[in-house]
């Protein structure tokens, strides 16, 4: 099959949706399919270098062709313009490239069949005007996949999920290190407001007040707030726009991941931590079927930095608990293996092609 994996917005954004595109594409190629990626826009990279950049930043073994509707870099555009471009230019691109089936991330109108929409989330606030438009757009698709029970619940009233298929994940990028080779590093990944980085900083500051020699590392896109934290506190180290291999190496040396998020569907960050053998400390926004309290991580039912400091301190001081969560996490994450997830999508594609 020739499979198109589409991103409605920008293919160069360093986020979980583009990670999904990369890992699913690679998993499908390992199953013998021809795969290409297409998006509306891009920025920060020359268009002719997109395939190389995409492979490098996501840690892929080989380049996958990347196409864009926009010919020049654009960071974004009006929603109506993007949808209009997909209906006309995107549909034409798919025909020119000879796709057999399409997987769209971030719903957009396409004159193409069969097509699969992936509902990621979190949706956030959806206006009364936008909700019926989203409902109509999802109604144009032959199949809708949700990535978790949380995303299925969030999309109720907009679309009905045909199936829940977990995120594809590249476990081979991660090499867990024994506890004795790790440092007292707490990692926070993501600088978006809903990730609440200020809660993480304050939690680590409290730990240091209690006498724990803890270092704090931010990973994510360049952000003024994070730069301000780094100037204010000597224990804060920002790592901006690093590739997946660099992040994987950091997680394998750290002792804990912290994610005090206000909204999540199924965050890649928690899978990355577990694959690295690094227990995650997360908020109740993270699905409970992904991070199970005191089995493969620790759940905190608040956004109070003191509560996170208490959870972090317990993990840093209780070696037996840390070892149990680390061991369970590395086993748990295997169910997200990119090839096995790609097989489930392959089954969906075959059914849709047979029906059409």
Q: Return d(Cα 284, Cα 302) in angstroms, integer.
A: 7
Express as a percent the part of the chain with pLDDT over 90: 86
- pLDDT of 276 higher than 80: yes
Give pLDDT, residue 49: 98
Residues 255 and 175 in one domain: yes
Give the mean pLDDT of 268-279: 96
Q: Identify the pLDDT of residue 267.
A: 85
Structural contact between residues 132 and 104, judged by C-beta atoms closer than 8 angstroms: no
- Give the model's confidence band at 303: pLDDT under 50 very low, under 70 low, under 90 confident, else very high: very high
pLDDT for residue 223:
87
Mean pLDDT for 95-119 is: 97
Say yes or no: 199 and 331 in one domain: yes
Residue 121 has pLDDT above 90, yes or no: no
Least confident of 170-179, 263-272, 316-325: 263-272
Same domain, 22 and 49: yes
Tracing tokens 């965050």 back to the chain, one arrives at 267
205 shares a domain with 133: no
Domain boundaries, position 202: 171-336
| pLDDT confidence of residue 41 | 97
Do 215 and 228 fall within a single domain?
A: yes
Query: Model pTM?
Result: 0.89
Q: What integer is the mean pLDDT of 299-318?
A: 97
Residues 6+ away with beta carbon under 8 Å from 223:
191, 197, 238, 240
Residue for token digits 């594409």? 25
pLDDT digits (tens, 9 = 90+) for 76-102: 889 999 999 999 999 999 999 999 999
- Per-residue pLDDT band at 122 (split at 50, 70, 90): confident
| Mean pLDDT calculated for residue range 251-269 | 91
Q: What are phi and psi of 234, to 5 degrees?
A: -70, -20
Given a contact cutoff of 8 angstroms between Cβ atoms, the answer to whether 76 and 137 are in contact is no
In terms of domains, do 222 and 329 share one? yes
Mean local confidence (pLDDT), 29-40: 98
Could you tell me which of 355, 200, 179 has the C-alpha nearest to residue 269?
200
Contact between 151 and 120 (Cβ < 8 Å): yes
Query: Model confidence at 128, in pLDDT bands (50, 70, 90)?
Result: confident
> Are 160 and 253 part of one and the same domain?
no
Mean pLDDT confidence for 164-175? 94
pLDDT in tens, 205-215: 999 999 999 99
Same domain, 177 and 217: yes
Whether residue 160 sits in one domain with residue 108: yes
List the CATH number of the domain containing 33.
3.40.50.2000
User: DSSP label at 139?
Assistant: H
pLDDT at 263: 80
- Same domain as 226, residue 143: no
Closest CA relative to residue 322, chosen from 297, 300, 347, 299 = 297
For residue 343, what is the enclosing H or E element?
Answer: helix 338-355
Kindly compute the dihedral angle of the four CA atoms of residues 89, 92, 98, 104, in this order, to the nearest 10 degrees.
50
Answer yes or no: are the C-beta atoms of 255 and 186 closer than 8 Å.
Answer: yes
70 and 188 fall within a common domain? no
Burial of 45 per CB tally in 10 Å (0-12, 13-18, 19+): middle
DSSP 3-state assignment of 22? helix
Q: What is the mean pLDDT of residues 307-326?
A: 98
Q: Could you tell me the pLDDT band of residue 191, with boundaries at 50, 70 and 90?
A: confident
Per the structure, how many domains does the chain have?
2
Query: What is the number of alpha carbons within 13 Å of residue 314 lying toward its C-beta?
Result: 16
Burial class (CB in 10 A: 0-12, 13-18, 19+), 162: middle
DSSP category for residue 129? T
169-197: average pLDDT: 94
Q: Any idea which of 20-24, 68-72, 153-157 has the lowest mean pLDDT?
A: 153-157
pLDDT surpasses 80 at 237: yes
DSSP strand E in the chain: where? 2-10, 34-41, 66-68, 101-105, 115-119, 143-146, 163-164, 185-189, 215-220, 236-240, 256-259, 280-283, 298-300
- Model pLDDT, residue 221: 86
Write the DSSP symbol of residue 111: S
Report pLDDT for 192.
84
Task: For residues 168-193, give the mean pLDDT.
Answer: 94
- Do 294 and 328 fall within a single domain? yes
Q: What is the pLDDT of residue 150?
A: 86
Read off the pLDDT band of 244 (50, 70, 90): confident
pLDDT attached to residue 141:
98
């Amino acid at each position: 099959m020739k499979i198109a994996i589409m991103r409605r917005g920008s293919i160069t954004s360093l986020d979980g949706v583009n990670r999904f595109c990369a890992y699913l594409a690679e998993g499908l190629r390992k199953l013998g399919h021809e795969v290409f990626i297409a998006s509306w826009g891009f920025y920060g990279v020359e268009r002719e270098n997109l395939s190389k950049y995409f492979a490098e930043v996501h840690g892929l073994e080989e380049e996958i062709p990347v196409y864009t509707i926009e010919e020049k870099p654009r960071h974004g555009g009006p929603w109506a313009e993007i949808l209009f471009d997909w209906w006309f230019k995107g549909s034409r691109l798919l025909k020119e490239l000879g796709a057999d089936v399409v997987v769209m991330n971030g719903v957009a109108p396409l004159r193409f069949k069969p097509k699969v929409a992936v509902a990621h989330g979190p949706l956030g606030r959806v206006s009364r005007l936008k909700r019926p438009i989203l409902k109509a757009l999802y109604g144009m698709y032959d199949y809708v996949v949700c990535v978790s029970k949380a995303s299925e619940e969030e999309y109720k009233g907009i679309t009905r999920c045909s199936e829940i298929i977990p995120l594809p994940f590249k476990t081979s990028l991660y090499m867990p290190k024994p506890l004795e080779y790790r440092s007292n590093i707490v990692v926070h990944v993501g600088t978006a407001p809903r990730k609440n980085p200020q809660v993480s900083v304050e939690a680590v500051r409290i730990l240091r007040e209690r006498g724990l020699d803890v270092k704090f590392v931010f990973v994510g896109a360049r952000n003024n707030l994070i730069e301000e934290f780094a100037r204010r506190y000597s224990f804060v180290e920002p790592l901006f726009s690093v590739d997946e291999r660099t992040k994987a190496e950091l997680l394998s040396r750290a002792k804990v991941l912290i994610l005090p998020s206000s909204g999540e569907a199924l965050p890649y960050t928690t899978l990355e931590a577990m694959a690295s053998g690094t227990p995650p400390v997360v908020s109740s926004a993270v699905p409970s079927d992904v991070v199970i309290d005191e089995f493969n991580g620790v759940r905190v039912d608040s956004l109070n930095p003191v509560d996170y400091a208490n959870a972090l301190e317990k993990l840093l001081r209780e070696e037996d608990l840390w070892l149990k969560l680390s061991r369970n996490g590395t086993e748990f994450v295997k169910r997200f293996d990119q090839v096995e997830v790609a097989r489930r999508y392959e089954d969906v594609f075959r059914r849709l092609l047979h029906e059409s």
